[in-house]
Chain A
């Protein structure tokens, strides 16, 4: 080895690309971003052509018109979005709270409560509200959905915060960043990918489970499915089921884009 530091430095400066690892990010091509919407549009088109090809009786006509489907779909979207917003508002602050050193004592208790929430079947919770408290409609459905999906977001928030490199935090504290500053500027940004994965899970669960809200008169695409079931009209059932599935895939797709966009650079 030469002891001429200048010389070796020069050598490194002329080869700055050496030892440089490219940032590994899943750079999706535009084509792959378009794949899912095109697929979903084709499914909807196929469904439309299928329904058109059928001779509809009066019951089916009443169930399968644009305004009825539109209302049900919009109610479904509302149920999903509102419940997910509440989940985010509850689970993320709770996750932050439960990863602070001073909450070690009641961490276990709160996690158990959240676990119970997910262990209960949503349909059971909704039925319980309706029978025991005569609590039905949109708000009751939201409570049921939230209880069910707090856990995945809470768990991901906690895991996301706990996986942040201890040394990065020590460096931050050692430079005189306040505790709050370390949380908002280092811990949370570094936990974003994992928290977002939890939110995406919650969204998808909520889209699916919101189909049950029809049983407590909270609307949603479940209305169409149940109408088809109770009147024994297969076309109606298929329409409700396919639309629910399309909505779930669309929500998952949009959440995936949000994850890509919101993930901090450099990770």
Chain B
């Protein structure tokens, strides 16, 4: 039976290639991983997702040979590592597990220094690397370096876990449900942070989860696995949501595929609306002028650094009796950053006073506005593109079938 997941030519160089990988356990009739072939392109997050017991974790753990494959080949960075010294291999592969597994008797700094020490870096370089990584995961080195894991909250421990996995600057990272044991709010924040981090570091990441929503949010590419680590579909989240390859995949995605698609696009991907703005030191007349020049019912007041500080409508100005414009109107709610998903933005704007979400950059500077029409438009666009792509894929498959038939007869 064929069991393969290859990527089309648009993807980059292949970083990890699993060839006919098989894992059998004694006394178990069915193999945990059944003849799996999978290509993982460089710099992408590939999610292995599937029901419990489908062999996704086993598959991931064979990449750094925590679990030794029964047969097959593992190629990492164009090098066959199936029989390489596993310790040497693992030092080049970052590893994050759900329970994190920080060393409780070592400080945060010592924990992060683990792999650099094994790689024989000098003390100065290791020191600099610890500070750099703690900054990267938004933890102040001065505060946290000498703490022990027990003194951190769950979310902070998970960040240290990620920092530790990045310490040796590996090209490849393996993550086994890294955000699984964290409360939903912190998880969401860590996911966003991780995506932002990944945009900088561009590692090749194999990420295991059983949560399809997490897979859609985090993945550049998703492999949906059935029992025996058989690939039900290996494709981008857009394609999987739009054109599930089988009933299994459709069932696994579950209801609400359209809403889930909102998790795929980010605010930065869509055209932002122009909105009337006025400076904080302007007066009420300026607000009315700005409103008259547009078709909107209210203006956004920006401070000296162009950060949103107030919503002011014409009625507010009339009622304000000449008070400064940053003292009237309503506070700016529903603020999102460009890397927020459309789902986040939609969620914010539904509850917002003027049914729009304000987009600001990392420094809080106003960028534009998202409203419901834009989100609608984005969904329509995605659906059309994905349909076209799925149709093109079907045509290709049919051509291949014809070719193989031609050669066998």
Contacts and interface: CB of A to CB of B under 8 A. Distances in A.
Interface of A: 1-9, 13, 16, 18-23, 165, 167-178, 186, 189-190, 264-267
Contacts of A177: 87, 114, 118
Contact of B95 (A5, A165, A175, A190): A175
B88 interface: yes
20 contacts: A3-B340, A4-B336, A6-B337, A9-B193, A16-B144, A20-B152, A21-B151, A23-B150, A167-B99, A171-B95, A172-B101, A172-B114, A173-B90, A175-B115, A176-B88, A177-B87, A177-B118, A190-B104, A266-B106, A266-B107
A172 B165 CA distance: 11
B189 A171 contact: no
Given A3-B336, A167-B101, 7 more contacts: A5-B337, A19-B153, A20-B147, A168-B103, A175-B165, A190-B104, A267-B105
A226 B336 CA distance: 86
B101 A176 contact: no
A168 B347 CA distance: 39
B196 A5 contact: yes
A6 B101 CA distance: 27
A169 B152 CA distance: 20
A176 B150 contact: no
B148 interface: yes
A267 B104 contact: yes
Interface in B92-142: 92, 95, 97, 99-107, 114-115, 118, 138, 140
Contacts of A190: 104-105
B141 to A, nearest CB: 12
Contacts of B153: 18-20
A110 to B, nearest CB: 26
Contact of A168 (B66, B88, B104, B337): B104
Contact of A165 (B101, B165, B185): B101
A8 B155 CA distance: 13
B210 interface: no
Nearest to B119: A176
Interface residues of B, number: 56
Contacts of A9: 138, 189, 193
Nearest to B267: A3
A177 B100 CA distance: 16
Given A2-B335, A170-B97, A174-B90, A266 B66 contact: no
B337 A186 contact: no
Contacts of A8: 189
B206 to A, nearest CB: 13
In the complex, the 6 A-B pairs of residues with the closest C-beta atoms, listed nearest first:
A171-B101, A266-B148, A19-B153, A176-B90, A176-B91, A174-B95
B364 interface: yes
Contacts of B92: 176
A19 to B, nearest CB: 3
A167 B375 CA distance: 43
Contacts of A16: 140, 143-144
B379 interface: no
Contacts of A176: 86-92, 115, 118
A227 to B, nearest CB: 49
B44 to A, nearest CB: 21
Interface in B144-190: 144, 147-153, 155-156, 164-165, 174, 185, 188-189
Contacts of B255: none
Contact of A13 (B138, B174, B348): B138
Contacts of A21: 150-151
B159 to A, nearest CB: 10
B227 interface: no
Contact of B151 (A6, A22, A168): A22
Given A171-B100, A173-B90, A6 B105 contact: no
A171 B118 contact: no
B293 interface: no
Given A6-B362, A171-B95, A176-B115, A1 B188 contact: yes
A243 B95 CA distance: 58
Q: Which of B66, B101, B144, B336 has the most CB of A within 10 A?
A: B101
Interface in B197-225: none
A122 to B, nearest CB: 36
Contacts of A175: 90-91, 95, 114-115, 118, 164-165
A169 B95 CA distance: 12
B360 interface: yes
A178 B152 CA distance: 27
A9 B185 CA distance: 12
A1 B87 contact: no
A3 B118 contact: no
Nearest to B95: A174
B105 A189 contact: yes
A266 B149 contact: yes
A44 B150 CA distance: 44
Contacts of A186: 103
